[in-house]
Structure 1
Amino acid sequence: MRDILAFGSIVIDNVLLVKRFASVNETVQAEKYRYTYGGAGANVAVAAARLGAKSGVFAVSGYDFKRFNYERTLIEQGVDVRGVIENSNSPMPRSFIISIEGSDDQILYYYENRRETSKLLFKNQKFAEELSKEYKVLHFSTGHFEFYYRFLRSKKVPAVVSFDPGQETFSYPYRVVRILPYVHMLFMNNHEAKRIKELLKIRSLKEIKGPRLVCVSMGARGSVIIFNDRVYRVPAVKPAKLVDPTGAGDSHRAAFLVALLKGYDVPTAGKIASVVASFTIEAEGAQTSLPTWEKVIRRYERFFKEEFPEPQGSWEETKKLLLSSGK
């Protein structure tokens, strides 16, 4: 079987680096501008492929997907693009990311025709179900949550389900909440985790019904992972330089999943994910500086000051725990 099928988006990222965000009616001079390949679905697929996993992406692209050489780039990275559905009437979505170097982002998103994209996804649901049967893990990130809900509710795919709702936790919170019972792993940042607790009226993330594993990223403070009634705290790995945080969350998720598939236990997978995220921050664009597994090993040993471990178990053992009912 193949490893990870990433559901999400394929986007052209327009990145502006600034020293501070503008106030209302204020103009701030951008220090740098670049357009790069992005979209949460594609970012996860590329990061996983760079780490040696057999990954694919399921998303709707635009008529300029080939014109921007995005398709060729994905294929060269080893990503399965059979799940890319072309929208011949609209361009790829665009994101406009205003980023303070080494800090936070402001993100604007533009869809030419979101409704048509939704129609294409629903039209291809059977195809998605068939393609998914070839993969061990399905990862759902920022995209069309109505489609995700219908797809997951059908329960026709036996794979482990991973979910990273991202900013839609704030934009469409009810869509996020109703997906939670169908997922086995949930990834969020600390702001999203706070919002989820407010929405569900719970005091602890341990109370969430659905996911057996919850991972909360906290930027420079690392991450917290809740799994099998245990809490693990993983430090952030310091990058060689702070350039652009765009896509660090996506590469973190991809690395975490790849590590689990390779047989590493949860705390070690968290460390590996932290290492991979540190590479992403070192260059402009979400897919620009993704590391190979060999580079991950070297940085892991340098940062954690220990020999890179052998896998502690197997994916089948972790899968059994993730799929078991109850908390």
Structure 2
Amino acid sequence: MRILICGSMAFDTIMVFGDRFRNHILPDKIHMLNICFFVPEMRREFGGTAGNIAYNLKLLEGNPVIMATVGDDFSSYTTWLEQHALETTHIKQIPGTFTAQAFITTDQDDNQITAFHPGAMSECHQNSVHDAQDIGLAIIAPDGRDGMFLHARECHEKGIPFMFDPGQGLPMFNGEELLHFIEMAAYVAVNDYEAQLLLEKTGLTLDDIASKVKALIVTKGAQGSTIYADGKLYEIPCVKATQVVDPTGCGDAYRAGLLYGIAQGWDWPVCGRLASVMGSIKIASRGAQNHLLSREEIQNIYSQVLVDETLSQHIAEETRA
């Protein structure tokens, strides 16, 4: 099944400051701040919601179709996508713009100062879902405001079930607008903070939202995730990672697992476990697209997770007895 991934493509420039911001920012001088941080360590990563989700779907041997807008500086990213056999047909270059990018400076306490330039992402409404053929499933991930509205409406008009994933774009919309997205969507995916914000803006409860879609997915980091579907609540445990290196892109990896499971017609516990496996694989690698596993390796990890869960349940039952 061809899965349309509507979202951002971005470069992430990460710089590491070898001290603490608080040692260099004087509280009584905030009104006249003029400071320079020496950052001897720097790296540039490929990112963006659409790029990250598509990359993880490809690892699962899914069939992602990226729809995004990019700038004149995108050539190195194009090469990366082609090296990983990711389709670029619906990635539109906007002349005279930069690709969206984040400049992130991190100190020794893991505090961050981030500057984000949306660039070509703001023109994502120049793409149309109607131009993509044979799409069976879609996701509307964080992107330009106008484009998110347009692509959700076009998916709805074409009868393409889509997952609404507002992410960091959620503050752009008021309650009425978010309700409209929910009414059109087949699935809604948010983290626990975004879930609370969504409830505050719409005045709905989690059960209210779940009743309007096929499934509501709420991720909770190390506490796992919860899937509200079929009138039931599925608690999905977190999968322990081999090591915790970098959480950047974990949510996108999780969503790729969900989309793959939905496309296969799997039940929600299976979809949720696969999504958790994808998140655990990602967090063990620096950057959002540097983990490289075959589908067979992912399947082996998933199988081991099932064995571990069964063993844990057996031990718990024996303890209670």
TM-score, with length taken from structure 2: 0.82
Matches within 5 A, 1:1-327: 2-16=1-15, 22=21, 25=25, 32-66=41-75, 69-97=76-104, 107-112=114-119, 117-118=122-123, 121-125=124-128, 128-131=129-132, 133-154=133-154, 155-174=156-175, 175-202=177-204, 204-208=205-209, 210-305=212-307
8 Å CA contact 1:242, 1:281 repeated in 2:
yes
One-letter code aligned to 2:183: P
Cα deviation code 1:275-320 (max 9, x no counterpart): 0111111122111115332122222233332699xxxxxxxxxxxx
Measured in 1, the distance between the counterparts of 2:120 and 2:77 equals 20
Measured in 2, the distance between the counterparts of 1:227 and 1:104 equals 37
Q: 1:225 to 1:299 in 2, by over 3 A?
A: same
- Unpaired runs of 5+ residues, structure 1, are 309-327
8 Å CA contact 1:276, 1:291 repeated in 2:
no
Q: 1:305 to 1:60 in 2, by over 3 A?
A: same
Q: Secondary structure of 1:238's partner? A: coil
Measured in 2, the distance between the counterparts of 1:187 and 1:100 equals 31
Structure whose alpha-carbon radius of gyration is higher: 2
8 Å CA contact 1:11, 1:38 repeated in 2:
yes
- Identical amino acids, percent of aligned pairs: 23
Higher mean C-alpha deviation, range 263-272 or range 13-22? 13-22
One-letter code aligned to 2:62: A
Measured in 2, the distance between the counterparts of 1:21 and 1:179 equals 41
The alpha carbon displacement at 1:261 in A equals: 1.6
Measured in 2, the distance between the counterparts of 1:36 and 1:92 equals 13
Measured in 1, the distance between the counterparts of 2:94 and 2:105 equals 27
One-letter code aligned to 2:168: Q
Measured in 1, the distance between the counterparts of 2:2 and 2:106 equals 32
Q: Secondary structure of 2:245's partner? A: coil
* Structure with the higher helix share, 1 or 2: 2
Q: 1:219 to 1:122 in 2, by over 3 A?
A: closer
The alpha carbon displacement at 1:262 in A equals: 2.2
- Unpaired runs of 5+ residues, structure 2, are 27-34, 311-321
Q: 1:123 to 1:169 in 2, by over 3 A?
A: closer
Measured in 1, the distance between the counterparts of 2:8 and 2:216 equals 23
8 Å CA contact 2:66, 2:88 repeated in 1:
yes
One-letter code aligned to 2:230: N
